[in-house]
Amino acid sequence: MTAARKTQTSSFEQDPRAWRVLGSSTFAFTICFAIWMMFAILGIPLKEQLNLTDTQFGMIAATPVLSGSLARVPLGICTDRVGGRIVFLVTMLATVVPLWLISHATEFWQFIVLGLMVGLAGACFSIGTPYVARWFPKSRQGFAMGIFGAGNSGAALTKFVAPVLILTAGTWTIVPKVYSIVMLVTALAFWLTSVSDPAHRTPKTRSNASSRHTLMDVRAWRYSQYYSVVFGGYVGLSLWMPHYYVNHYGFAIEQAALLAACFSLPGGLLRAIGGWLSDRYGAYRTTWIVMWIVFVCFFVLSYPESDFTVRSANGPIGFHIAIPPTLFTALMFVVGIAMAIGKASVFKFISNDYTDNIGAISGVVGLAGGLAGFALPILFGALVDLTGVHSTCFMLLFGATAVSLIWMHFSFRPVGAAEARDKSAARNAAV
């Protein structure tokens, strides 16, 4: 066994390079995710400037998510074969020029095309996940991937930074220029502070066979469904919430971004806690509880603002039912925490079930979550344009969560029954 392989299988405290890789990768991913979510804020002034419908706003906001999602599988496979450090660097550098060009765009189609190019930043998740995981023993991979996944807090970072830049400069065009420079600096800093280990690469023949097997594995599709709720829902809501606060509650863009960050920030930062809980209590139990929490919250959030009259013996009595901004923000805060934990617990399933092709399977699952994150803002906008009811976005998520709960129940019921039989047999043997 090589020294590098011993390092991989031993306690991570024995190799300080593991923490180096984790720190540099998490910082880089945070910046990438902030840029990936950039149009959540830029889309608001662009909607007014270009006179867009809600559906078109959803398209501009979600377009980067599409390319970032589609690129996750090939980039995850490339990471397995050639290593995460070089793939991470090249992917970040590829977004620098398109970012700068966004500040000069004036037409709807130009924002769509450039958004597709910038969206590669979001694919860094499927690069960093296997890159980081292989530096840690299996018993700690959930926690390590949870810390790396906390880079999702970049969604909140962009909600703090972008409105300030717009307010200071008086124009939205300053945001892509600043982000372009930041991405270039981040890419160089990542290269200087990270390291690589050739022992972590997967042979090409094994990678090809594992990738084909992965696409035929029902577990991959099951985990993809879970991830489409906890990650796809997180991305979709992160893109939609500033717009929701502006349109539904009438807040200014600065206030809307700040309130939306109450969902995005815990939804990113607390992912490390989800990894720890998954390591301690298991991926299934953690994910099951998460799904029930968001299921109940979406049920409450789905109820539309309503006025109705009850005919009583003393005459008609009018009622007005609406979720005030304070309660709405509190519920979104709870959803953000649950989704953060769920994102980590789903990937604990992956680290438990797969070893040689973590990059490939994380790419497949990440693709599913990303495609959901792309589709949801567009569907949110289409539902609002069709019905005029803002809470339809939560109705859609309520249904998606119900599908995950049903699938989990029937998938793991045989496992639970087998465990119960084993415990019963052990008790009988002890007697």
Supply the pLDDT for residue 289: 93
**Pairwise CA distance, residues 65 & 37, whole Å:** 8
Supply the pLDDT for residue 131: 87
Distance of CA 270 to CAs 85, 225, 275, 342, 370, Å? 25, 21, 9, 10, 20
Q: Does domain 14-202+214-425 have CATH number 1.20.1250.20?
A: yes
Show me where the domains of the chain are located: 14-202+214-425
**Pairwise CA distance, residues 224 & 362, whole Å:** 9
The stretches in the chain having pLDDT less than 70 are: 1-15, 199-217, 355-360, 413-431
pLDDT digits (tens, 9 = 90+) for 18-77: 888 889 999 999 999 999 989 989 988 998 899 988 889 889 988 998 898 888 878 888
Residue among 46, 399, 27 nearest 229 (CA): 399
Supply the pLDDT for residue 154: 86
Give the pair of three-digit tokens for residue 400: 């998606």
What is the largest distance, in Å, between two alpha-carbon atoms of the chain? 86
pTM across the whole model: 0.75
In the chain, the amino acid numbered 300 is V
Distance of CA 126 to CAs 296, 336, 345, 401, Å? 30, 21, 16, 24
pLDDT digits (tens, 9 = 90+) for 224-270: 889 999 989 988 998 899 989 998 898 988 898 889 888 888 877 78
